[in-house]
Copies of this chain bind each other. A is one copy, B any other.
């Protein structure tokens, strides 16, 4: 997905949030905003938003010397999601179609995103998911939801590459991956996280905390962009990306980075801002399961 001019204000919001989380004083915050501002003219709108976000968060890291401003937020998200896990698993087990419910919940868990939503209340969002307040399970939020195509492709696939999005959300991914493995224990699942801290994106340790290593090989994309930007990924990762029978891409950042890449990918995400909603032709808050070929 290209970057829209509407993304520019959001870049500044992100920079400010990250600066404050890094403990920067007001003077440093201003310096960061100025530096981000000076980089705006060099932004090409043909690039995807995660490419810009990477540059912006790079500015914050450089000026604050804090490598992982979202560390505590990530830990808290994991902890809260793990606490909700038994109830989430019950929801899956009690449903008519366990795989479908696990998918729906995995997409609902995509709400834990500090890139798009600033300062979300993870606890409240988890409670909403458990009570299904947003009616995700009850289908009203699905304008684009190609479940049957996904199920067919998944059934045929021997190797599954699952691109992670955020901490906290990893717990939801673990439930979906467990569900996939339950039906097909021989399927090889590879779970790809980010190489280095970026916003609240999941790293290897987050995947391990969620217990994903029990069901999948955890690999890194080789990059610290908040989305799988092919030109920044490691050769090793790209080999896996090319060879996998099915790619499951979680989150808005991965969609933004990969929507124009030439290979079949299933995108699972919640449309969290008006820009992406316009791009995929849905409403803000919709949960999306779509294949791009």
Q: How many residues of A contact B (CB 8 A)?
A: 18
Chain B residues with CB under 8 Å of A101's CB are none
Interface residues of A in 123-154 (CB under 8 A from B): none
Query: Are A16 and B12 in contact, CB atoms less than 8 angstroms apart?
Result: no
Say what secondary structure dominates the interface of chain A. Answer: helix
| Identical copies in the complex | 2
Closest-by-CB residue of B relative to A41 is B34
Interface residues of A in 1-60 (CB under 8 A from B): 5-6, 8-10, 12-13, 16, 26, 29-30, 33-34, 37-38, 40-41, 45
Determine if B13 and A9 form an interchain contact, defined as CB atoms under 8 angstroms apart. Answer: yes
A30 and B5 form a contact (CB under 8 A): yes
Q: CA separation between A59 and B41, bound complex, in Å?
A: 15
Nearest-Cβ distance from residue A64 to partner chain B, whole angstroms: 14
A38 contacts which of B8, B30, B33, B38 (Cβ < 8 Å)?
Answer: B38
Q: Which among B8, B29, B34 is the interface contact of A12 at CB below 8 angstroms?
A: B8
CB neighbours (8 Å) of A10 from chain B are: 9
If the complex has contacts A37-B37, A37-B41, A38-B37, are A16 and B26 also in contact, measured as CB distance less than 8 A? no
